[in-house]
A and B are shown apart, each in its own frame.
Chain A
């Protein structure tokens, strides 16, 4: 059963040095929100960025994680 910390760990393995925030939206460990700001997203389309996150989460996306609200962007346009 994934929780925000193990999801974050798996994402960090795929995107070293990224800024990653994962929240359990419902407290039921199956609906999550994730914000991933990673250099690897530079020059990639939004669809590609999300696909990269889905690939990193692997089999969790086909079962354990029922819903994932996802925000991705490269660090260049990270807010301020």
Chain B
């Protein structure tokens, strides 16, 4: 179970930036092909985004799996809402839905 302190910390990380990517490695040095793919997509979308390296923080790594009922990374959150992992983000990017979602958020 997620303890209250960890849940609060996760929510402040998730909601701290409009576009927040929890990934393996960093934006500059992705440590996983799936994480790198999402970094590349967000770059193409041309929106500012923040990343968090879950390899450097086991509490966040384990906690987020429970928080979002999603067992893998990367995990993309937009406006505090879980969007998906690499496969879903790739599909949404290709269909143009991700662009619309990001545009509506950055217009706020």
Residues of chain A contacted by B85 (CB below 8 angstroms): 50, 70
Residues of chain B contacted by A62 (CB below 8 angstroms): 65, 71
In this complex, how many residues of chain B approach chain A with their Cβ under 8 Å: the count is 15
Residues of chain A contacted by B92 (CB below 8 angstroms): 46
- What 1/0 flags go to A29-61 for Cβ under 8 Å of B? 000000000000000001100110010000001
Are A46 and B71 touching (Cβ within 8 A)?
A: no
Are B88 and A69 touching (Cβ within 8 A)?
A: no
Nearest opposing residue in chain A for B82, CB measure: A47
Distance between B35 CB and nearest chain A CB, rounded to angstroms: 11
Distance between B50 CB and nearest chain A CB, rounded to angstroms: 21
A2 to B104 CA separation, bound complex (whole angstroms)? 42
In this complex, how many residues of chain A approach chain B with their Cβ under 8 Å: the count is 12
Are A70 and B87 touching (Cβ within 8 A)?
A: yes
A67 to B31 CA separation, bound complex (whole angstroms)? 13
Residues of chain A contacted by B34 (CB below 8 angstroms): 67, 69
Is residue B49 contacting chain A, with contact meaning CB distance below 8 A?
A: no
Distance between B82 CB and nearest chain A CB, rounded to angstroms: 7
Known: A50-B84, A54-B72, A67-B72. 13 other contacts (CB 8 A): A46-B84, A46-B92, A50-B70, A50-B88, A51-B70, A54-B71, A61-B72, A67-B34, A68-B72, A69-B34, A69-B86, A69-B87, A70-B85
